[in-house]
Amino acid sequence: MSSILDRLLRREPASANLAKDRLKLVLIHDRTDLTPGTLDAIKDELITVISRHCEIDPAAVRVEMTQIGREQRLIADIPLRPSRRRRP
């Protein structure tokens, strides 16, 4: 309640959340040396390889860095297209 009151009177967005979000991204790149360009390249190659074996939706594929403790992980989320029922 008080923070809402403060916010109304100050008419400015809270800057701490902004700082935290910016730092999250900066730290991921500081820790791994992986640029957004490299991540895009990894994603494109994954799509190519996986598409050879099964049907996927390239637009829905996501490749992201996440943090678990101080450990960095590369997470690939690759939704499969539902297989069409074959009719004789």
Partner 1 sequence: MACKVITVTSGKGGVGKTTATANIGAAMAATGQHVVCIDSDIGLRNLDVVLGLENRIVYDLVDVIEGRCRLRQAMIRDKRLPELYLIPAAQTRDKSAVSPSDMVRLCDELRPDFNWVLIDSPAGIERGFRNAIAPADLVVVVTNPEVSAVRDADRIIGLVEAEEKGPARLIINRIKPDMVKRGDMLSMEDVLELLAVELIGMVPDDEIVITSTNRGVPVVLDGKSKAGQAFRDIARRLEGEDVPFLSLDEGGNIFNRFARWIHPRSNRNE
Q: Are 44 and 62 in contact (CB under 8 A)?
A: no
Choice from 52, 53, 70, 85 touching partner 1 (CB under 8 A)? 70
Question: Please, which residues have CB within 8 angstroms of residue 65's CB and are 6 or more apart in sequence?
Answer: 28, 32, 34, 39, 72, 73, 74, 75
Residue of 26, 41, 74, 80 interacting with partner 1 (CB under 8 A): 26
Quick check: 62 binds partner 1 (CB under 8 A)?
A: no
The reply to whether 19 sits near partner 1 by the rule CB under 8 A is yes
25 binds partner 1 (CB under 8 A): no
Q: Is 1 in the site for partner 1 (CB under 8 A)?
A: yes
Out of 38, 51, 66, 67, point to the residue binding partner 1 (CB under 8 A): 67
By C-beta, is 71 or 87 nearer to partner 1?
71
What CA dihedral angle connects 27, 60, 74 and 28, to 10 degrees? 0
* Whole-angstrom distance, CA of residue 41 vs CA of residue 88: 40
